[in-house]
Every structure is written in C-alpha cells, then in structure tokens.
C-alpha cells in the first residue's frame, strides 16, 4: 500500500471518514485516521451502550475488517468489540450511522466476529468516490 499522505488512498480515506463523522455529528477533534501498513480510522462516540453504561464507545474501521463498534478499555487492555458491520468494506456514511444507532440502542446488528475483506486492490477506488463529492470535503452539510 502507498503510505504517502497525499496518495489517492489517503485522500479518499480522509474524505470518507469526514463524511462518516458528519453523518454521526462527531467533531473533528474526536476523529483520527491513517494510512500506513494498514489503512484505519478511529471515531470517539458520545453515546453509551446499555450493556456498558459507564464506558465510552468507539467506532473503528480498518481495511481488513471494515467498521465495528467497541467499548473503550483501559490502556493495555484489548477493547471489547460489540458488533461488526459486515455488509461491505466501505458502506455509505448513512449506513454506518444506522449501524451505530442500532448498537447504541442495545441491538447488535452485523456480526460478533470480524469479517475478512480480501485485499483486491480496490480500496483506493472505493475511497476515491468520496473525493468526487466536494460537499464532503468542504466541511459543510
């Protein structure tokens, strides 16, 4: 994978994650993403799970497993993953928003174990769709 921050994959990931964050009304300071050996993203959720009401939730994405919602744990502890959105690797932001709403309502859609998405070399093309949507890059709704 091209780890250049100006690569098409990195730019597409930046635009896609921004679109998902806007769909969930997550502020920019609560979002992180990177393209290194693995393309990945982290979004801090302001919602809680009825199962873990005292713990923060996180929405994470990576190029091998797609989206998942997990419970934040102490440093050094593995996160507790609640559900994986198993439909596709790069679903529309509104689908991710609906997935998060289901998880925070106490329903666990998707699957309990991470799906595996084969590396077909299509990630850059899938993410590039979001580069072609200028309203996602402008920060406006």
* pLDDT reading at 136 higher than 60: no
pLDDT of residue 16: 96
- Rounded Cα distance between 139 and 126, Å, is 21
pLDDT in tens, 68-110: 999 999 999 988 999 999 889 999 999 999 999 999 998 878 7
For the CA atoms of the chain, what is the radius of gyration?
15
pLDDT of residue 31: 97
- Rounded Cα distance between 45 and 22, Å, is 12
């Amino acid at each position: 994978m091209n780890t250049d921050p100006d690569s098409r994959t990195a730019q597409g990931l930046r635009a896609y994650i921004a679109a998902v964050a806007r769909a969930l009304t997550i502020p920019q300071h609560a979002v992180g993403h990177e393209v290194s050996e693995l393309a990945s993203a982290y979004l801090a959720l302001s919602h809680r799970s009825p199962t873990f009401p005292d713990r923060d939730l996180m929405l994470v994405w990576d190029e091998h497993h797609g989206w998942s919602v997990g419970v934040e744990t102490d440093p050094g502890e593995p996160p507790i993953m609640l559900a994986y959105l198993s439909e596709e690797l790069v679903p529309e932001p509104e689908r991710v928003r609906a997935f998060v709403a289901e998880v925070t309502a106490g329903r666990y859609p998707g699957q309990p174990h991470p799906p595996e998405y084969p590396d077909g070399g299509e990630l850059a093309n899938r993410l590039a769709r979001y580069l072609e949507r200028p309203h996602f890059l402008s920060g406006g709704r």
